[in-house]
Structure 1
Amino acid sequence: MFYFFKIDNYIFPILSLVHFIFLYVLWFKIKEGEISDPQMRNLEYGLYVVSLIYIFKFADTIYILSTYKEFESHQLPATFFPVGISIITLYAFLFGLTLLSFYYRKKHVGAYNIDILNEQIDHWE
């Protein structure tokens, strides 16, 4: 059941916004043939933090599944392992897609060259 006042239920949707914005910016840069800019770099830094959260949640889910033997006296549903394994698979897939988006950014948009980025700044604005 989804609880509206539980903050933990809103973490994944907020993190997914960072992904969607980065993917939109990446798509736009590739489509228009533009180079990277500081805003895109900051979004990518945000995705680094999000990736660390995915790794933590991946390890946490593995830990929960590995402590199954401690709760043998409790009645666990039959879907405990299938849902746990699917969550692990999806976290690994999401982390892999994040790394793939970093690769596409570097391949199609280019590296973050600070000298070029500084030349684009108009100091008179």
Structure 2
Amino acid sequence: MNNISKIITWKRNILASALVLLTLAVLSFYGVYTNQFYFLKADNYIFPLLTSVHFIYMYVIWFKISEDELPDPKMRNIEYILYVIMIVYLFKIYDSAVVLNSINVFDEHVIPATFKPIATLSLVLYSILPILTLYTFWLRKRYIGIYNFENYNDNLNIWQ
């Protein structure tokens, strides 16, 4: 894992996660069957709303590593919320695979030429997202530390 952390540094991981999240947020409004964007459907706003928690967590990680700070309870709570959001990410992988495999069902219908590339891109990005998220958790543990709040006040030294 140390070789991977030399190639994919914490900054690269956060930037790659941000790029994947932004791309998927845009693609959440795109209809692969119709080749159109749908901004008036409320369902399309769920994923971008959930990614806002992910962006907050990445900001906290960036700040804590840059400032060499210890973890705090607010950071832990955001991470726990992100664990629940990971279930949504796994569902989106399944959903994207179902959509991509549905091309055989609609042989008689007119399917846009962009269906297969965009559906494949979505599946790949949704598959990469949990890996990057788990790697971010590992980086948090490595660079910031574990959540140990029993002796949290003992470890604080305000004179440093």
Which consecutive residues of structure 2, in runs of 5 or more, have no partner in the other structure? 1-36, 156-160
Moved runs in structure 1, 4+ residues, more than 6 A? none
After superposition, what is the alpha-carbon deviation per residue over 1:70-102, rounded to whole angstroms, capped at 9, x for unaligned? 211211112211111100111122222211211
Aligned to 2:47, the other structure's residue is in SS state helix
Same amino acid, percent of matched pairs: 46
TM-score normalised over the length of structure 1: 0.85
Letter in 1 for 2:102: T
1:30 has 2:78 as partner: no
Give yes or no for contact 1:38–1:117 (8 Å, CA) kept in 2.
no
Aligned to 1:3, the other structure's residue is in SS state coil
Query: What is the root-mean-square deviation in Å for CA atoms of aligned residues?
Result: 1.7
Q: How does 1:95-106 map to 2 (within 5 A)?
A: 95-106=130-141
TM-score normalised over the length of structure 2: 0.68
1:58 has 2:93 as partner: yes
Distance between the aligned counterparts of 1:68 and 1:58, measured in 2? 17
Single out whichever of 18-27 and 7-16 deviates more from structure 2: 7-16
CA shift, 1:109, in A, is: 0.6
Which consecutive residues of structure 1, in runs of 5 or more, have no partner in the other structure? 121-125
Matched residue count: 119
